[in-house]
Amino acid sequence: MKSDFLKGIRDGIPICLGYLSVSFGFGILAVSLGLSILSAVGISLTNLTSAGQVAGVGIIAAGGSLVEMVLTQLVINIRYSLMGISLSQKLDGSFNTMHRMLASFGITDEIFAVAVSQKSVSPYYMYGLTVISALGWVSGTFLGAAAGNILPASVSGAMGIVLYGMFLAIIIPPAKKEKGVLAAVLIAAVLSTVFEYVFKSVSGGFAIIICSVLAAAFCAVFFPVPDEKEDET
């Protein structure tokens, strides 16, 4: 139990360090949109998803509805349910329902990547991995939010770009390799620009939902991912 928890912490240190730098940008973004330091930290503490948090604070700042918030978070974060299903194949026999519910809170892209590489995953390994990663994310948010209230606006604005730089680093490598990913990125970007400058009456939350669904639907039709049987044939 203790050894698994400590192993999770050791394996999660690189994630912690990465989250510390990236969430710094989220903290600056949150306070620049009018949120308090406490609110920014509270969001990071209860919602471990960078894209979801950025979209969420945008909806909050724009005075969006709860329906927008729920639908936006569902569209952005539904991939975590697929990761959870995949990771469930690696869970050991000590994972009961309560452990599964607690561990599911900590599933992010990076935590999933580390956990799924293990031969077997215990509850306490997941807890160690999640605790150290969340510590980096929350700490970075606090430092960024605090700095946003101290640093000049020009410096804060420049450092806030860090978060968007992370998103670019995520999408550019696969977009270079797969036409479907590139098409999804371009379609979403074009549609987002249209909503920003043409259909201004559509709120930011619904614009994100529409862009995501249309881009995904287009790629599902024109760039379908072949299943294993088709690959073998």
Per residue in 98-156, pLDDT tens?
A: 999 999 998 988 898 888 888 889 999 999 999 999 999 999 999 989 987 776 666 66
Residue 221 has pLDDT above 70, yes or no: yes
3-state SS assignment for residue 171: helix
Which pLDDT value is given to residue 122? 92
Report CA-CA distances (Å) from 57 to 7, 35, 193.
34, 8, 19
More confidently predicted of 155 and 32: 32
* Dist CA 180 CA 228 (whole Å): 18
* Residue 86: half-sphere exposure toward Cβ, Cα within 13 Å: 16
More confidently predicted of 63 and 132: 132
Main-chain dihedrals φ then ψ at residue 63, nearest 5 degrees:
70, 30
Residue 183 has pLDDT above 70, yes or no: yes
The percent of residues in the chain predicted with pLDDT above 70, rounded, is 87
* Dist CA 10 CA 117 (whole Å): 15
- State mean pLDDT over 1-9: 88
Query: For the ranges 41-55, 123-137, 192-206, which has the lowest average pLDDT?
Result: 192-206
Average pLDDT, the chain: 84
Residue 19 has pLDDT above 70, yes or no: yes
Which pLDDT value is given to residue 167? 67
